[in-house]
Amino acid sequence: MFEPTRDEARLFFFETWRKHRAGEPLAGLEQTVIGILLMHPEYHAMLGAPAREAWPETWHIIEPQIAQVMRDYRDGKIGRLEPSPAFRE
């Protein structure tokens, strides 16, 4: 059963939107989600927005965490890193 937290659901919606925009194949629940998203153009700009704009109420929490991961990657403490488009500036 799919019981995501609010943030997990948001990430799923953002990733589904990214895949749709990139022309990548969508499977299962992604196809349902994109159908819903396409019916709501008022959200399209936000779905392509940087994380600080998409999650303003939690940005003060997640920004330091993202910055730490990026520092760890730069310093070689973690391997390959491919951030979600939602976290690009």
Label residue 1 by pLDDT band (50, 70, 90): low
**Amino acid 24: pLDDT:** 94
Which of 73, 72, 19, 89 has its CA nearest to residue 81? 73
Supply the pTM of this predicted model: 0.58
pLDDT tens string 15-72: 899 899 999 999 988 999 999 999 999 888 888 877 788 778 888 888 888 788 778 8
* pLDDT above 50 (res 89): no
Mean pLDDT value across residues 12-16: 87
**Amino acid 20: pLDDT:** 95
Distance between CA atoms of residues 25 and 71, nearest Å? 33
DSSP state of 76: T
